[in-house]
A = this chain, B = another copy of it.
Amino acid sequence: MTLRFAMFGAGRIGAIHAANLARHSRAELRYVVDVNGTAAQELAQLHGAVAADADSALEDSSVGAILIASSTDTHADLCIAAAKAGKAILCEKPIDLSLTRVEQCLAAVRSAGVPMLVGFNRRFDPSFAALKRGVDRGDIGNVEQVIISSRDPAPPPLAYVKVSGGLFRDMMIHDFDMARWLLGEEPQTVFAAASSIVDAEIGRAGDVDSAMVLMRTPSGRLCHINNSRRASYGYDQRIEVHGSKGRLIAGNPTPTTVEIANADAIAVDKPYHFFLERYAEAYANELDQFVAAIDQGRPMPVSGEDGRRALLLAEAAIQSLGTGIAMSVAS
């Protein structure tokens, strides 16, 4: 029994999902939809699918699932349309930059009763998933502190910065999800500090490029997140969890294990350059779990509510930045 997909978005994340669908023994990519018809055509052709418009894709009753990898401003509309059409939804993060819109979207999904997975890909990274299993197994006892480092290799284009919703909604949203997942409790207060020290243009565009956050949960668990839009050595994604009995760290995987020693130094590989390389395996695992959850009628490993909660933390951080005060998190 094969799950047939229509995919929206033929950009770089769409390309990854398409290739994973093509290799999947219980999934099939049927349609690719993109405002850029040529891009849709090419990606469809590469994997034996067909380019289509949104309506045809949504109306085809043989299509069981919609994968949304188009631009952020289209996510909520597509989710709602997919929900109405009774399709399962795999939606790239964020659902929307507006909390109100997110809530409308989730209401539509809930009322349609369709399964929905929000694409927090890091939960499916082998190292972060192993770290989470260790925490859940009690390997380090009661969780006390979580420290998340998340640094991009280079700033995105300024044009993107302007429509991104800002660093907290666009970039740190992933880390807010990791924080909730690993803390095992909802953060109660959020404090943020930030600057545009990497590129003054980003500051002039009203955004920040460097940020640090502190959060505290009701039982006193603490969490720190640091973000930067620049890491000259590559994509830097590390997590530490400290508990009453020990510490778990997930570091950066590297392309090879080669080490060179010479008169200057001992040098090893840099981390993978960016998320497409680092999270290749995570994207494949995410799709596997989406398909398996539908097959087996199990709940999705990341829900729409997870998407909303991460956004609540981003909103609190943004308010804190404006006030210099630790903000309470709405619920």
Contact present for B139 and A260 (CB under 8 Å): yes
Contact present for A145 and B250 (CB under 8 Å): no
| Chain A positions 27-41 with a Cβ under 8 Å from a chain B Cβ | none
Q: Is A263 in the interface zone, CB < 8 Å from B?
A: yes
Q: Tell me whether A245 and B222 are in contact in the complex, defined as CB-CB below 8 angstroms, given that A189-B193, A253-B257, A257-B252 are known contacts.
A: no
Contacts of A252 in B (CB 8 A): 257
Contacts of A270 in B (CB 8 A): 261, 265-266
Q: Is A184 in the interface zone, CB < 8 Å from B?
A: no
Contacts of A126 in B (CB 8 A): 255-256
Q: Is A228 in the interface zone, CB < 8 Å from B?
A: yes
Contact present for B196 and A220 (CB under 8 Å): yes
Contact present for B222 and A226 (CB under 8 Å): yes
Contacts of A196 in B (CB 8 A): 220
| Chain A positions 261-301 with a Cβ under 8 Å from a chain B Cβ | 261-270
Contact present for B262 and A246 (CB under 8 Å): yes
Q: Given known contacts A130-B258, A144-B197, A232-B262, what 18 new A-B pairs fall within 8 Å (CB)? A: A22-B23, A126-B256, A127-B257, A131-B256, A140-B260, A144-B228, A195-B221, A196-B220, A198-B244, A212-B224, A213-B214, A231-B242, A232-B245, A232-B246, A249-B258, A249-B259, A250-B256, A266-B270
Residues of chain A touching chain B, judged by Cβ–Cβ distance below 8 Å, are 22-23, 25, 46, 126-127, 130-131, 134, 139-140, 142, 144-145, 147, 149, 151, 189, 191, 193-198, 210-216, 219-224, 226, 228, 230-233, 236, 240, 242, 244-253, 255-270, 324-326
